[in-house]
Structure 1
């Protein structure tokens, strides 16, 4: 039996997350490596700067 291919994605930004979603449909093992343990949704950073949202609302470690 053939061994499953392994894919390592460096970086869990939008591109890394989309790549992992696309590869999830394939017969591969996926590992995502990122230097942070959370994903910050940057389009909402201006609302944090305006004190509309708490920083914990857009980035959760």
Structure 2
């Protein structure tokens, strides 16, 4: 996945939800979610980025 797809998804979600500041956006550790474009988009909308630990299984936390 490219960073612009992740950015577009955040932009659409923010527009649909009415600009919810302080909301956590949880993602995996993919490069698109660590990109400058993505992190700047989160900051611009007052969102908080959150990532899972390396090697963490969704079943074990």
Q: TM-score, normalised by structure 1?
A: 0.36
Structure number with greater Rg is: 1
Q: TM-score, normalised by structure 2?
A: 0.36
The structure with the largest strand share of the pair is: 1
